[in-house]
Amino acid sequence: MPKPMQILLVEPEALLRRTVAMTARSLNLGQVHEAASNDTALGMLRSRPYQGAVISVECVGSGNQRHYDLSLVDQLRFGDAGVSDGRTMPIAIMAHQATPQLLDALRERKITRVILKPFRAKVLLEAIAAFAGPASPAASPFA
Amino acid sequence: MQVAPIPDNEAERLAALYELLILDTPPEERYDKIVRFAAAEFDVPIVLFTLLDANRQWFKASVGTEVCETDRDASFCSHVILSDAIMVVPDALQDPRFADNPLVTGEPHIRFYAGAPLTLRSGVRLGTLCLIDRQPRTLDALDLGILGTLRDLVVMELTHASEAADA
């Protein structure tokens, strides 16, 4: 029996995290490890290899300086955070809104899946299932 | 309308239910948030966390209804507690068990129903977490998995509450 995929889910809402993790386990989609914050996630990423991550990003700053906090993604893609496979790991991003600035930033970071609000467990589980196989070229990157 | 038979372990089932001291208690956020989550996740107008008493089904948590209980005889949930499987009724009007049920022909005009039994470790089934829509629909494997998980979370809360009271 193949080893289950190890997936990291970074999401502050506990009920959504729990639902995704428990359902993924019950349907043999993978072992979903839960992190409520970027700090917790970074520690977990350093402690073991993952085959994918679903990361919720929040807006920070105010006025013209308002932007999505992509610091965890940057640690993975560009940083020297000691995370194995961080530069190539498939990542799906959860965001409230797809702004042109966000989409440009995600393209630079080779992120091909964006999950928009309202966040549903089913959409997150579909994203996790997609980590296991090649993405369909016809599939929309948005949910 | 087919009235569900009484489970063989009804006395044991009711004893376990009464032991929880939960019937007719006020709403609790830990259950309310699960039914709200389910309503948003499945985009259904009504979600219920029901407990099957001797002659009624009582709602510990609900979305989409002001009613807090109905007769057991007309309840879909009394059919669900007969097995461990999630019961899905894609279109109640096409199902001989429910087509003339007053909850189908009248308020709240149930067409779609999916109920997951709340089964304790002892095997008794106390009630359901159920989704209701006023139009026919179906659930796929992922939906069923998610409903099963939300049901498990309700059971975990019930069990934890019981263990905490015993401590």
Mapping DSSP onto H, E and C, the string for A79-90 reads CCCCCCCCCCCC
Q: How far is CA A66 from the centre of its chain?
A: 21
Does B160 touch chain A if contact means CB atoms closer than 8 Å?
no
Residue range(s) defining the domain that contains residue A10 = 6-131
Give which of A22, A29, A115, A128 to mutate to test B binding, by max B Cβ within 10 Å: A22
- Provide the number of CB pairs (under 8 Å) joining chain A to chain B: 41
B141, part of any domain? yes
Q: How far is CA B40 from the centre of its chain?
A: 17
B3, part of any domain? no
The answer, yes or no, to whether residue A57 has pLDDT greater than 70, is: yes
A80-84, A99-103, B41-45, B142-146: the lowest-pLDDT one: A80-84
B1, part of any domain? no
Q: Note the pLDDT of residue A63.
A: 85
Distance in angstroms (rounded) separating the CA atoms of residues A32 and A132: 13
- Mean pLDDT estimate for chain A: 89
The answer, yes or no, to whether residue B63 has pLDDT greater than 80, is: yes
B117, part of any domain? yes
Does B141 touch chain A if contact means CB atoms closer than 8 Å?
yes
Tens of pLDDT, residues B77-112: 999 999 999 999 999 999 999 999 999 999 999 999
Number of domains in chain B: 1
B5, part of any domain? no
Task: Compute the CA torsion angle A90, A95, A97, A102 (nearest 10 deg).
Answer: -50
A139, part of any domain? no
Does B22 touch chain A if contact means CB atoms closer than 8 Å?
no
Contact B41 A122 (CB under 8 A): yes
Q: What is the mean pLDDT of residues B59-88?
A: 96
For chain B, percent of residues with pLDDT exceeding 90: 92
The answer, yes or no, to whether residue A43 has pLDDT greater than 50, is: yes
Does B146 touch chain A if contact means CB atoms closer than 8 Å?
yes
pLDDT band at A5 (very low <50, low <70, confident <90, very high): very high
CATH number at residue A91: 3.40.50.2300
The answer, yes or no, to whether residue A137 has pLDDT greater than 80, is: no
B93, part of any domain? yes
A141, part of any domain? no
Distance in angstroms (rounded) separating the CA atoms of residues B154 and B156: 5
The answer, yes or no, to whether residue A138 has pLDDT greater than 60, is: no
Looking up tokens 């797809």 gives A98
Q: What is the pTM of this model?
A: 0.92
B58 to A45, A83, B136, B162: CA distances (angstroms): 45, 51, 25, 19
Q: What is the mean pLDDT of residues A49-65?
A: 91
B38, part of any domain? yes
Q: What is the mean pLDDT of residues B122-146?
A: 97
Does B32 touch chain A if contact means CB atoms closer than 8 Å?
no
What is the nearest CA distance from B100 to chain A, expressed in angstroms? 33
Q: What is the mean pLDDT of residues A29-57?
A: 95
A31, part of any domain? yes
Residue range(s) defining the domain that contains residue B83 = 10-166
Q: What is the mean pLDDT of residues A74-86?
A: 81
Contact B146 A16 (CB under 8 A): no
Q: Note the pLDDT of residue B162.
A: 64
Number of domains in chain A: 1
Q: What is the mean pLDDT of residues A88-116?
A: 93
A39, part of any domain? yes
Does B33 touch chain A if contact means CB atoms closer than 8 Å?
yes
Q: What is the mean pLDDT of residues B126-153?
A: 98
Q: What is the mean pLDDT of residues A36-50?
A: 93
Q: What is the mean pLDDT of residues A53-73?
A: 91
Q: What is the mean pLDDT of residues B137-154?
A: 98
Q: Note the pLDDT of residue A124.
A: 97
Structure tokens at B4: 């569900």
B111, part of any domain? yes
The answer, yes or no, to whether residue A32 has pLDDT greater than 70, is: yes
Contact B153 A122 (CB under 8 A): no
Contact A125 B142 (CB under 8 A): yes
pLDDT band at A84 (very low <50, low <70, confident <90, very high): confident
CATH number at residue B62: 3.30.450.40
Looking up tokens 């630079």 gives A108
